Amino acid sequence: MQIYDRAAGAVRAIYDTRIATPPILDTSHYFPSAELYTDALPDIRREALAVADTLGHVPRFHDLMPEQTEISANDGRDWRMFILKAYGIPVSKNLRRCPRIAALLDETPEAVSCVLSFLAPGKHIPRHRGPFRAILRFHLMLAMPCDRNGVPACELNIDGEPHLLAEGDSLLWDDTYPHEVWNRSDNVRIALLLDVWRRDMPYDMALLSHTIMVLGRAFLRMRGLTYAA
């Protein structure tokens, strides 16, 4: 874990000197294809709910990446990830279970990773930062529990700013900023998460980013991780 943290910190430091954008990004500029996903919300939600029917077979995040144990297994409550694509590597078995999402990924190669995220009731993901500013995180909320007043019961806090996304809401943001999540409900929160290749990077940062992506894919293949549920 210490090696991972040091490496992530070093990568962030490099990008911080060359790319300066706010935590929340303009979706229309940085990911105009987002409309394809928001327009397909009913189909995506239907596929996600079908996966949820076998949720016990979906890996927890720290089962897939032991380096993330501190944020995934911190409170004994599950954060499960159904991975369809990771750093450009398709997970064929999972894609076959979600043909509508698979078709959208074929249309949007800039989405280099794609997961269905299942956050257990009461789960808290502690404050942390992503390592890689070359990709942006796109959230599409598929199932959001609400409190007794009809307010979304899950909070995504990004750089000190709370975001309460209702079902169907989306957000594009930079996960290298500090962020944490709470599910303050008795139901599972389901979201589609995409990692989107950042547009308009300086040439040297784009070259470095492609190199990191190649190394990341090699690392995943070397570990022989099994993503299929």
pLDDT averaged over 10-residue windows placed end to end, the chain, 229 residues:
65 82 96 98 98 94 82 89 93 96 98 97 94 93 95 97 97 96 97 96 88 81 59
In a domain, 228, yes or no: no
In a domain, 143, yes or no: yes
pLDDT at position 206: 87
CA dihedral defined by 217, 219, 220, 221, rounded to 10 degrees?
A: 90
Number of domains forming the structure of the chain: 1
In a domain, 141, yes or no: yes
User: Please, which residues have CB within 8 angstroms of residue 22's CB and are 6 or more apart in sequence?
Assistant: 174
pLDDT at position 1: 52
In a domain, 229, yes or no: no
pLDDT at position 95: 97
For 34, the domain range is 2-223
pLDDT at position 68: 79
In a domain, 39, yes or no: yes
In a domain, 179, yes or no: yes
* CB burial readout 2-36, b (16+ within 10 A) else e: eeeeeebeebeeebeeebeeebebebeebbebbee
pLDDT at position 136: 97
In a domain, 56, yes or no: yes
Q: For residue 9, what is the domain's CATH number? A: 2.60.120.330
pLDDT at position 140: 98
